[in-house]
Structure 1
Amino acid sequence: MNKKRILIAAGLGLVQLTVSQSANAQDSLQLKDVVITATKNDQKQSQTGKVVTIISKEVLERSHGKSLPELISEQAGIIVAGSSSNPGLNKSVFFRGAGSAYAVVLIDGIVQNDPSGNGGAFDLRLLSIDQIDHIEILRGGQSTIYGSDAVAGVINIITKKGGPKGNTIYGVASIGSYETLKGTIGLNGGVDGFTYNVNYTQNKTNGISEAANPVGNNAEFDKDGFRTGALNANFGIKLDKHFSVNPFVRYYYGNYSFDGGAFVDAGNYSILKNVAAGTNAKYEFATGKVTLNYSYESTSNDSHSSFPSFSQGKISIVDVFYNQKLNDKLDLLVGIDNRVMKLSSAATAPKANIFAAYSSLFLHDLSVFNLEVGGRYNKHEQYGENYTYSITPSINIIKEVKLFGTVSTAFKVPTLNMLFGQFGANLDLKPEKSQNYEAGVNFSFADEKFTLRVAGFKRDLKDAIIYAFPAGYVNQVSQKTKGFEVEPAIKFGKFNLNGYYAYVEGNEFNFVDNAIADYLFRRPKNTFGITAGVQATTDLYVSANYRYFGNRTDGNFSTYTVDTLPAYKLLSAYA
């Protein structure tokens, strides 16, 4: 019997308070003129053949009632498992059918990583939407610029910075069901040569039970809520007209409750902490600039359940790159990157170092033609050397039509747990490597009042690392994934309509019966979404979002079978 379910969520945007000395009108830029920083070359979107999505400051300001995983999951080709469920569970990000650790998260252009995890992926719960200015999403392999893990895509989160001269206090407060309370208070401003933005967000909810109460059980299950606090501080120091230094500090604390299974109530909880500090420094001159990014990050997760665990990882990153404008149509990027990762919670505190040198050439606006060509050399102290490359051409056939494509390679290094951990460690592991192909077309008519992007992709991954019981971690299988995305958008006066359809299929190692299967766990072949919004008044924006997720498979570890989960739909309204 087929079961159809529809879930309805309502967001309350409830109280928004801002105290300031001046108001800045948001510039109205067309998408083709938006500058993308994630390519490390400050390109306009019209000058690159990469598939880029910008979540603007305007969209974020309308989304205070959402979490970052919820907002990311509304984008084409991206599944954030558990984005609409209990916040106490990890939010795995699946880009274009790839596994949950094959995408890189950046904060202000700096790679984020958690060496203590099996996948090393950054936890999207660590940032509040209230602390973000805008988000850049690049799909496809980006290892040439960002190294390990950038196999399927990159999410670059740009935090709020600076402010007008003087001091400005700002804040947002919201209240919702299940005793949900959220508040952000911040202070920003500046004087000659110095700017700052310091904000703190507190969030809590009693929530609902994560586990479903089995039929016939009359005992009431407890609620699984959470309590979080997040501090974000950015500073800008202009030493002279050429040289600037921009230090930052971030701290996050989260206490999350979770149950013992789908139908098992439990008083489990985990305490997640993240501390990061570093700086960005730039020296600019007439035809180029030198940029330094340094970051030190420590992440710990203390889980209290019937299987208690504690993990802590630390990573320090130094990334120095040089941009040179060779002429009005040709730019050069050259950089070096060094990362030291440490599993400090392990008895021996193992660590690993990876050094890289990379370079790219950007040819733009040569009549109708643009081209990006890049390469990267990597040296890992454990497995040795590997290389990656990327070739991205695009052609603006006419003003309204652009063809684009990419051929690239990408890689993912074995994590510290895979190399040195307690269970199945293997010092002979090689990096996972992928060959990526992408092609598509972008239409834009009536001054971008109507846009349509269609993109297809294919990814072949070899030397995939799996846990093969009882041997442990091994490089064993190849995985193939392909699909396409369709993204239309319409703007008509005060009305906006955005949608997407994404299809993905592939094979991967099945961790239930230890075999390669012709389907992807937790990733439906078909997803569809549409968002409609209207600027009802100057201060009121009303929107509705509908999303469809098709059938997907997952492992049932009670019966050790592969189960097909039914399709589901989500409908949300926001004001």
Structure 2
Amino acid sequence: MTRSIPVFLLSGIALATPVAAQEVPAAPSDLSAASAASAQSTEGLSEAADAGADVVVTANRAATPIDRVGQAVTVLDTAEITRRQSVLVADLLRQTPGVSITRNGGPGTLAGVNIRGADADQTVALIDGIKINDPSSPGGGFDFGTLLVGNIARIEVLRGAQSVLWGSQAIGGVVNLITRQPTDDLRVNARAEGGWHDTGQGYANVSGKMGPVLASFGGGYYRTDGISAYDGGAERDGYRNYGANGSLGIALTPTLSVDVRGFYSNGRTHIDGFPAPNYTFADTPEFADTEQWTGYAGANLALFDGRLRNRIGYAHTQTNRENYDPTDGTTVETFRGRGRNDRVEYQGIVDLGRIAQGTFGAEREVSRSTTSSYGFGSPRGRARLFSVYGQLAVTPIAGLTATGGVRHDDHNVFGGETTFSGSGVYSPNDGATTIRASYSEGFKTPTLYQLQSEYGNLALNPERSKGWDAGITQRALDGALEASATWFHRNSRDLITFISCDTPLTGICVDRPFGTYDNVARARAQGLEFALALKPVEAFTVSASYTYLETKNRSAGDPNQGNRLARRPDHSVTVNADYRWTFGLETGATLTSVGNSFNDAGNLRRLQGYVLADLRAALPITDNLSVYGRVENVFNERYQTVADYGQPGRAAYAGVRIRY
């Protein structure tokens, strides 16, 4: 593919073939009013939280009706998250089309999210629109294993490369987690539950408005004795976490407002390791502490009767990680990592007449990291990235929206990178049939560890990808049936891989006796995503999704060339069914089937597929009080997503919810 493809999409999108659809398209004159708020403003987050699945904020960095979005996106709104009762965000993501999960044990252990076969480190993770990937980790990714549903009210999963608007790492896609946002009226949400292996949790959130101030504050606690991370072990590896979230929106004038937000998480995970004298995987008393901070402050200013909306903000994220080993009676720190990211950003949204809208902005990001093992530290890492981007969305007639964008990033080590994207969505019959298509480019900057550690290589280039998807959605039976199918394809190059160095040390291995990193790998991922939503009667809903994934190592000269990428299941199916009885009882079930994969790049060790079945029920006692319960992994399936690491068996939980 060439750089001309985005232009082709913009000029001929009505003939392209397609992705998912939702609502009846609005008239072009409604464009500015329907997508007024930034994805990082309190207004935009609150608008999305109250809009259910009809509005998304991640696709265009602004609150946008989903029928004007050309990319593939899945929305889990508050009602759906509540209905499924999941504790771990990773368990919800596993049920999403195009997404697979790898996890090193039970709750709290390391978990990666792969979107459309991309590496877990190529997924952008956001909390309330703020990037939270960890600069101190070798791959720069985000650990979803410590992330609990807690007071998260909404999850948007945007599939496909999204680097034009979200920058580095958005090769596979973006996961945006939105916490409970301020409300105009006073609302209180709280829940408590307990169950299997001394598991317990309690969360609460209160939101409301006082004069010009909108506020939302919450917090919670979770703990479990867990399971053995080592699949053959007998010692349980527990997890505990406490956290808090807060959001303030202050209207200083009718056109000027200020936002302040924060998110905090503190977790302790017991892990297994490789103890002496055999140094093979086994039970150990080791544990890991993880502390995460996210803070944001910004101002929003509307000019020219609201046709130009400006936002300027500052975001700070920090991840602190320590591992400890108390084996010999004295607790020894075996690892310490500090990752920090500071970002200053400007974003503008401008209405260009009745049919067009532009989004543009600039960002300056500084990343820092330090790591040490047993007190011996790697060199401190620091990098600066300056970015500018612009996107134009045009709705010339009702039912047709075409979008194109470009971004340029300047990195103080490797230089510049320019990416393009284009997408379109068209419905010829008022939303009964919707056709979508997108072309997108992605990139991922080398991490601080890959550039500046003792194994670093300052000559590294960014990882790059080009991809497209096309799909169609058909609605029938007055909206009671909706089916969609999407084909996607992505080629990735310059992927960064660790290189072992043998004597004599020549070329890239000079002065690197223990190895280094290099841009030597290529990969391809393609497949099909199918989704079905059925509501035969008001009280009964069924949703199903299927993903076929084909991945291939395309690295020339690599002994693993032609092999499947590690830990990428070839098939996955999820079915959710829920029924509401006349007396208020809600019952439901989830069935998840994940196909075979390989644990290693050489495709020598197979990970067997597995089937999980979950049951759930909820009963309202009063208008404000309900009780609920669930049984996870009903048939006690034994399975692994990473070789030798165990996964939870059958477990039951019960709880109570309060809402005012």
Confirm or deny that 1:420 pairs with 2:452. Answer: yes
Structure 2 counterpart of 1:137: 157
Identity percentage of aligned residues: 25
Confirm or deny that 1:310 pairs with 2:323. Answer: no
Structure 1 counterpart of 2:12: none
- CA separation of 1:72 and 1:49: change in aligned 2, threshold 3 A: same
Structure 2 counterpart of 1:123: 143
Confirm or deny that 1:264 pairs with 2:282. Answer: yes
* Alpha-carbon distance in structure 1 between the residues aligned to 2:608 and 2:58: 40
- CA separation of 1:238 and 1:459: change in aligned 2, threshold 3 A: same
RMSD of aligned residue pairs (Cα, Å): 2.4
Pairing of 1:239-250 with structure 2 (within 5 A): 239-250=252-263
Confirm or deny that 1:191 pairs with 2:210. Answer: yes
1:191-232 alpha-carbon deviations (Å, 9 max, x no partner): 010121111110001112222347xxxxxx221111110111
* Alpha-carbon distance in structure 1 between the residues aligned to 2:382 and 2:467: 30
Confirm or deny that 1:331 pairs with 2:331. Answer: no
The unaligned stretches of length 5 or more in structure 2 are 1-47, 275-279, 328-332, 372-376, 502-514, 618-660
2:73 to 22, 41, 52: 52
1:289 to 293, 309, 312: 309
Pairing of 1:120-519 with structure 2 (within 5 A): 120-165=140-185, 168-213=187-232, 221-260=234-273, 264-285=282-303, 286-305=306-325, 308-345=334-371, 348-364=379-395, 366-399=397-430, 400-422=432-454, 424-470=455-501, 471-492=515-536, 493-508=538-553, 515-519=560-564
Cα offset, 1:123, TM superposition: 2.5
- CA separation of 1:536 and 1:127: change in aligned 2, threshold 3 A: farther
Cα offset, 1:448, TM superposition: 2.7
Is contact 1:275–1:297 with CA below 8 Å preserved after alignment? yes
1:499-527 alpha-carbon deviations (Å, 9 max, x no partner): 111011122389xx963342021111111
* Alpha-carbon distance in structure 2 between the residues aligned to 1:257 and 1:169: 33
1:270-311 alpha-carbon deviations (Å, 9 max, x no partner): 001111212233212421311223211110111225992111
Q: TM-score, normalised by structure 2?
A: 0.77
Structure 1 counterpart of 2:606: 564
Could you say what secondary structure the match of 2:604 adopts? strand
How many residue pairs end up in the alignment?
536
1:373-403 alpha-carbon deviations (Å, 9 max, x no partner): 1000110000000100001122213221111
Larger fraction in helix: 2
- CA separation of 1:123 and 1:212: change in aligned 2, threshold 3 A: closer
- CA separation of 1:537 and 1:223: change in aligned 2, threshold 3 A: farther
Q: Highest relative contact order (Cα 8 Å, sep 6+), 1 or 2?
A: 2
* Alpha-carbon distance in structure 2 between the residues aligned to 1:123 and 1:380: 25
Is contact 1:459–1:481 with CA below 8 Å preserved after alignment? yes
- CA separation of 1:232 and 1:563: change in aligned 2, threshold 3 A: same
Q: TM-score, normalised by structure 1?
A: 0.88
Is contact 1:38–1:156 with CA below 8 Å preserved after alignment? no
Displaced runs of 4 or more, over 4 A: 26-31
Is contact 1:212–1:263 with CA below 8 Å preserved after alignment? no
- CA separation of 1:234 and 1:29: change in aligned 2, threshold 3 A: closer
Is contact 1:88–1:270 with CA below 8 Å preserved after alignment? no
Could you say what secondary structure the match of 2:92 adopts? helix
Confirm or deny that 1:532 pairs with 2:551. Answer: no
Is contact 1:282–1:289 with CA below 8 Å preserved after alignment? yes
Is contact 2:318–2:339 with CA below 8 Å preserved after alignment? yes
1:6-64 alpha-carbon deviations (Å, 9 max, x no partner): xxxxxxxxxxxxxxxxxxxx999685x43435412322111121111110110122244
* Alpha-carbon distance in structure 2 between the residues aligned to 1:27 and 1:92: 26
Cα offset, 1:447, TM superposition: 3.9
- CA separation of 1:428 and 1:37: change in aligned 2, threshold 3 A: closer
Structure 2 counterpart of 1:42: 63
Confirm or deny that 1:550 pairs with 2:592. Answer: no
The unaligned stretches of length 5 or more in structure 1 are 1-25, 215-220
Larger fraction in strand: 1
